Amino acid sequence: MKKYLIPLAAALALAVTGAGASAQSKMKVGFIYLGPVGDLGWTYMHELGRQMMVKELGDKVETTYLENVSEGPDSERSIEQLARTGHQLIFTTSFGYMDPTLRVAKKYPKIKFEHATGYKRAPNVGTYSGRFHEGRYIQGVIAGKMSKSGTLGYIASFPIPEVIAGINATILGAQTVNPNIKVKIIWVNTWFDPGKEAEAAKALADQGADILMQHTDSPAAMQVAAQRGILAFGQDSDMIKFGPKTQLTSIVNNWGPYYLRATKAALDGSWKPEDTWDGLKEKMVLMAEYTNMPDDVKKLAQDTEAAIIAGTLNPFKCPIVGQDGKEVECKGGTALDNGQILGMNFYVKGIDDKIPGK
Amino acid sequence: MGLVEAIILSVIAASTPLLLAAAGELIVERAGVLNLGVEGMMIMGAACGFAGCWLTGSAFLGALFGIAAGMALAAIFGLMTLTLAVNQVATGLALTILGVGLSGLIGAGFVGERITPAAALYIPYLTGIPFIGRILFGQDGFVYVSIALVIGIWFFLYRTRGGLILRAIGDSHTSAHALGYPVLTVRWMAVLFGGGCAGLAGAFLPLAYTPFFIPGMTAGRGWIALALVVFASWRPGRLVAGAYLFGAVTILQLHAQAFGLGIPSQLMTALPYLATIVVLVLISRTRNAAGSAAPASLGMVFVPDR
């Protein structure tokens, strides 16, 4: 029943921002959001990015967003709704919109599409994402240093390459300071369900994890960690408010500069369907302040961040050893290449678990 | 705290919102009204409950705000379906959409705010008893209310004259009307009661479970509550069993994953729903051939002829 309701709710939630009458010179830019704009996580950060872009470009653009659009076939209707109503540039901001975006793009070849975190492109579909695993690697280093029990708790969403790469990067980072680090992984099969995220966080804490990290979007796990007196990493945005004595740091998704760049390109006609994958260096991925850790750990975290930015450290530098003990082919010379990371479907050695469905 | 105790505590917390909302809906449906707007009333309860707690500083008053919000939305439902005799299914669905939208609007200003969550009971010595102490004497008020509510509903339905009248109205509103019972008045009270329960269930989420408000935080629990009423074949005792079974399977699958048992998580996530279907089949097999356990007038519009 819920399945039918969400697109309905999304249609109702259609929010047109900007000035009323649309002058011919204004370009209409649309956004498709996965969650509510107030989720304080994934969608919230895209919304901040949109706001920043609007602030910079002022009356050159008129933007529309649709929130609570569930992934999969249902999203096609919502994307097409934006295409039909004169939007010339449409950002679809979640992995599950990949095929629907391509289908709509085929029908509307003159409209430009930008799909976040996907890997399929077309003459009018570009992709963009952040190298979030760089931040996860730093979190791994911190977690390896800070964990007393030697067990980390990881709340994962869906077994897609991005999430798996995040788990691997975390454990690779942690192994550099504690070779025996263990990780317990719970897949909740949702991006956003505060109750379920809290339940998973409790289960992990009950089973001895003393540092929680998540690839889901709400601050629920941070609050559970705060209640239990253990430590945690925020996700998507700085969640320090929910755990002033709990948060170690948080990966902060910074989409604004990219939305500005892509929209400007569309305005001046230089837009091309590119594959943008920026990280800490380009500031698409930021780290929240390092807190609740001793100075030496903080220094180590800062040095790791600096090394990644300088390009002297790659989280997936070879050799990478898989769970089967065999070395993974090193297609990028000194590190795994982008394709291997974006299509990652194996766990590295040291993770005592199986990828669901494999 | 041992692992088993921790799991039981998590199961109780996960089951409580489902039980609260389902208990209210059980009374509504027993009176012959199908209100599909539970999710909408819950999320309104969550938004207003949080707002109330933030404004007054008291989780108790917050819960009252939540109840009031649920009842207010239920009153819209009552006005449409009882007074104006509009189709119940359509109105219920619309109510959910309204609730989701309105709660987002009300709650927008409270996203990211912090409150002091509802305190857990503490009785010296009793709460300190190993294992059962915290389970029996260390819960928050919502848990005790949910249990008391179901016992009260059972007593009302099967041991009082009012309960008998309510069931009669649910089974045949024309007969009850012919006997002189106030069908619409009783249904109005049932609908408001159901709204209050859904509002309280919603308020539990930001006031006790995850102490913050985020739009959409009920995440479909209202729909599960609706399914539980059918699952329980409209009986309070089975409702408790159903809610706790659902909560238990939800929590246990998380623990099984953390243990690294290697069962695909997609299957684990589907487990609570599979369990529901299995139990439904078992229940329907044990029932006699007389037919459905549903109240006979469920979902039918009643317009008094005079």
DSSP single-letter state for residue B119: P
Q: Are residues A36 and B214, on separate chains, in Cβ contact within 8 Å?
A: yes
Contact criterion met (CB < 8 Å) for A38 and B107: yes
- Cα separation of A341 and A335, whole Å? 10
* A110/chain B closest Cα distance in angstroms: 33
Helices (H), chain B: 3-30, 38-56, 59-78, 88-107, 132-137, 141-159, 161-171, 173-178, 183-204, 221-231, 236-258, 265-286
Residue B303 in domain = no
pLDDT of residue B291: 55
Which chain A residues are within 8 Å of B34, Cβ to Cβ?
Answer: none
User: What pLDDT was estimated at residue A87?
Assistant: 96
Distance in Å, alpha carbon of A256 to nearest chain B alpha carbon:
21
Q: Across the interface, do A353 and B262 touch by the CB < 8 Å criterion?
A: yes
Nearest C-alpha in B relative to A153: B258
Check CB contact of A241 with chain B, cutoff 8 Å: yes
Task: Looking at the structure, tell me whether residues A15 and A82 fall in a common domain.
Answer: yes
pLDDT at A61 (0 to 100): 95
Q: Got the DSSP string for A193-209?
A: -HHHHHHHHHHHHHTT-
> At which of A101, A130, A159 does a domain end?
A130
Q: Which of B35, B50, B265 best probes binding to A when mutated, by most A CB atoms within 10 angstroms?
A: B265
Measure CB to CB from residue A38 to each of B17, B108, B211 and give the nearest one: B108
Exposure string over B206-239, b if 16+ CB within 10 A, otherwise e: bbbbbbbbbbbbbbbbbbbbbbbbbbbbbbbebb
Which residue in this structure is represented by tokens 């209707």? A77
Contact B219 A195 (CB under 8 A): yes
Q: Is residue B45 part of a domain?
A: yes
Q: How does strand A247-253 pair with strand A285-287?
A: antiparallel
Contacting A residues, span 24-63, partner chain B, CB-CB under 8 Å: 35-36, 38-40
**What CATH number corresponds to the domain at position B50?**
1.10.3470
Q: Are residues A232 and A173 in the same domain?
A: yes
Q: According to the model, what pLDDT value does residue A11 have?
A: 43
Nearest to B10 among A12, A40, A199 (CB): A199
Contacting residues of B for A347, CB less than 8 Å apart = none
Tell me the chain A residues in contact with residue B264 when contact means C-beta distances shorter than 8 Å. 356-357
The answer to whether the beta carbons of residues A13 and A43 sit under 8 Å apart is no
**Of A184, A197, A241, which has the smallest distance from its Cβ to B114's Cβ?**
A241
Q: Are A221 and A214 in contact (CB under 8 A)?
A: yes
> Do A178 and A302 belong together in one domain?
yes
- CB under 8 Å to A264, separation ≥6 — which residues? A57
**Quick check: A247 contacting B, CB < 8 Å?**
no
As averages over each run of 10 residues, the pLDDT of chain B (306 residues) reads 88 96 97 96 97 95 97 97 95 95 90 86 86 87 96 97 96 94 96 98 95 89 92 91 90 88 79 77 62 82 81
In a domain, A29, yes or no: yes
Which of B93, B215, B254 has its CB closest to that of A200? B254
- Same structural domain for residues A184 and A202? yes
Closest approach of chain B CAs to the CA of A189, in angstroms? Answer: 7
Across the interface, whether the CB atoms of B258 and A185 are under 8 A apart is answered yes
Q: What's the sign of the alpha-carbon dihedral A330, A331, A334, A339?
A: negative
Residue B200 lies in a domain: yes
Of B96, B251, B264, the CB nearest to A199: B251
Instruction: Check residue B306 and give its pLDDT.
Output: 57
Shortest distance, CA B52 to any CA of chain A (angstroms) = 19
Tell me how far CA of residue B75 lies from CA of B25, B93, B194, in angstroms: 14, 15, 10
Domain membership of residue B293 (yes or no) is no
- How far is Cα A141 from Cα A155, in angstroms, rounded to an integer? 18
Report the alpha-carbon distance of residue A290 to residue A301 in Å, rounded: 8
Residue-level pLDDT at A23: 45
- Specify the 3-state DSSP secondary structure of A346: coil
Residue B304: inside a domain: no
Q: Which of A38, A39, A353 sits opposite B260 (nearest CB)?
A: A353
Query: Measured between alpha carbons, how far is A6 from A13 in angstroms, rounded to an integer?
Result: 10
The count of structural domains within chain B is: 1
B212 → closest Cβ in A159, A203, A219: A219
Q: Which pLDDT belongs to residue B1?
A: 66
Is residue A92 located within the same domain as residue A211?
no
What is the spatial distance between Cα A338 and Cα A137, in angstroms, rounded to a whole number? 16
Q: Confirm if A37 and A67 have CB atoms less than 8 A apart.
A: yes
How many domains would you assign to chain A? 2
Cβ neighbours, 10 Å, residue B134: 22
Q: In the structure encoding, which two tokens stand for residue A17, read together?
A: 């921002």
To the nearest whole Å, the CA of A197 is away from the closest chain B CA by 9
Residue A334 lies in a domain: no
pLDDT computed for residue B153 by the predictor:
97
With CB atoms and an 8 Å threshold, state whether A68 touches B259: no
Which of A82, A104, A130 terminates a domain? The answer is A130
Give chain B positions within 8 Å (CB) of A202. Answer: 6, 10
Per CB-CB distance under 8 Å, the chain B contacts of A13 are 101, 104
| Same-domain check for residues A149 and A298 | yes
CA neighbor of B246 nearest in space, from B267, B277, B216? B277
- Assign residue A288 the CATH number of its domain: 3.40.50.2300
A356 contacts in B (CB within 8 Å)?
264-266
Enumerate the residues of chain B whose CB falls inside 8 A of the CB of residue A5.
93, 96-97
CA B230 to chain centre: 13
A141 domain-assigned: yes
Q: What is the pLDDT along chain A (358 residues), one digit of tens a residue?
A: 334 444 444 444 444 444 344 445 789 999 999 988 888 889 999 999 999 999 999 999 999 999 889 888 889 999 999 999 999 999 999 999 999 999 999 999 999 999 998 889 999 999 999 999 999 999 999 999 999 999 999 999 999 999 999 999 999 999 999 999 999 999 998 888 999 999 999 999 999 999 999 999 889 999 999 999 999 999 999 999 999 999 999 999 999 999 999 999 999 999 999 999 999 999 999 999 999 999 999 999 999 999 999 999 999 999 999 999 999 999 988 999 988 998 899 999 999 888 887 7
Instruction: Determine the pLDDT at residue A36.
Output: 83
Chain B environment of A219 (Cβ under 8 Å)? 212
Q: Whole-angstrom Cα distance, residue A126 to residue A89?
A: 11
Evaluate whether residue B297 is within a structural domain.
no
A157 with A100, same domain: the answer is no
- B-chain residues near A196 (CB < 8 A): 219, 250
Whether residue A139 sits in one domain with residue A125: no
Same domain as A292, residue A195: yes
A19–chain B Cβ distance below 8 A for any pair: no
Domain hosting residue A221, numbered range? 132-253+284-311
- Same domain (yes/no): A210, A291: yes
Q: Give burial (CB, 10 Å; 0-12/13-18/19+) of A122.
A: middle
**Domain limits for position B152:** 3-286
Cβ <8 Å between A153 and B96: no
Closest chain B residue to A354 measured between Cα atoms?
B262
Asked if residue A99 and residue A176 are part of one domain, the reply reads no
Same domain, A14 and A148: no
> Is A316 within a domain?
no
Q: Which two tokens stand for residue B39?
A: 């999710």
Question: What are the contacts of A269-274 at 24+ separation with CB within 8 A?
Answer: A271/A89, A271/A112, A271/A126, A272/A126, A273/A112, A273/A121, A273/A122, A273/A123, A273/A124, A273/A125, A273/A126, A274/A126, A274/A127
Beta bridge partners, A124, equal none
Cβ contact A186–B259 (<8 Å)? no
A180, A200 Cβ separation under 8 angstroms: no
